[in-house]
């Protein structure tokens, strides 16, 4: 079982936030690959299905972003899989808007969802980092990630989410580098300084 977990906050008021782009990615994959309607399990909203013949579980933890690791650990324990079978999708302020990077292991770099996941299952899980840009000032980061994407940002966000779903067969087969390359081919984005926002800040 491949476990794909998107970070986000569960209440409706957070739905369009940059911090919830992980949830948006789960929704895009569910739509793109015909996953069954979601169920409440593992302190999450879940959906089961297949991607390129590989069984997969999509998780949207309902524990709030900073405690996401607890929900992921529940699913990992139930299915008796390893952290290498877990892919976490999350917003990344250190990548320019629209950029996408796969990574395995490493530190949390200030991301409390990653810190929580590492505390519960170790750091050997795979990470799908979705660039949202940086507000340019460390003091503004919390407000920035908990604010909605602007309408103009949907011009890069919607194609990126479609690419994340469309290229998912590579991810399911464990070909993370090819997955990253295909996402960027389908939804090209400039290699800009993440602090130079496309579409403006709040």
Measured CA distances, 7 to 25, 36, 184 (Å): 9, 20, 21
List 19, 33, 90, 134, catalytic entry: 19
Q: To the nearest 10°, report the CA torsion of 9, 13, 14, 15.
A: 100
CA distance linking residue 177 with residue 84, whole number of Å = 15
Q: To the nearest 10°, report the CA torsion of 188, 146, 201, 139.
A: -120
Which residue do the tokens 């403006």 mark?
200
Active site residue 19: yes
Neighbouring residues of 80: CB distance < 8 A, sequence distance ≥ 6: none
Closest to 171 in 3D by CA, of 160, 187, 162, 183? 183
Are 131 and 194 within 8 A, CB to CB? yes
Q: Which residues are catalytically annotated?
A: 19
């Amino acid at each position: 079982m491949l476990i794909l977990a998107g970070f986000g906050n569960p209440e409706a008021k957070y739905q369009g936030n940059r911090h919830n782009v992980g949830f948006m990615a789960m929704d895009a994959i569910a739509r793109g690959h015909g996953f069954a309607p979601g169920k409440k399990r593992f302190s999450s909203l879940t959906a089961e299905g297949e991607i390129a013949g590989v069984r997969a579980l999509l998780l949207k933890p309902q524990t709030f972003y900073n405690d996401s690791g607890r929900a992921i650990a529940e699913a990992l324990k139930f299915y008796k899989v390893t952290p290498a079978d877990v892919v976490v999708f999350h917003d990344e302020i250190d990548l320019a808007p629209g950029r996408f990077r796969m990574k395995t292991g490493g530190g949390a770099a200030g991301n409390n969802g990653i810190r929580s996941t590492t505390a519960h299952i170790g750091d050997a899980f795979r990470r799908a980092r979705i660039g949202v840009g940086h507000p340019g000032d460390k003091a503004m980061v919390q407000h920035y990630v908990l604010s909605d994407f602007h309408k103009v940002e949907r011009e890069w966000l919607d194609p990126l989410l479609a690419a994340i779903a469309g290229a998912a067969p590579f991810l399911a087969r464990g070909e993370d580098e090819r997955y990253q390359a295909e996402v960027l081919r389908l939804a090209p984005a400039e290699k800009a300084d993440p602090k130079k926002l496309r579409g403006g800040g709040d």
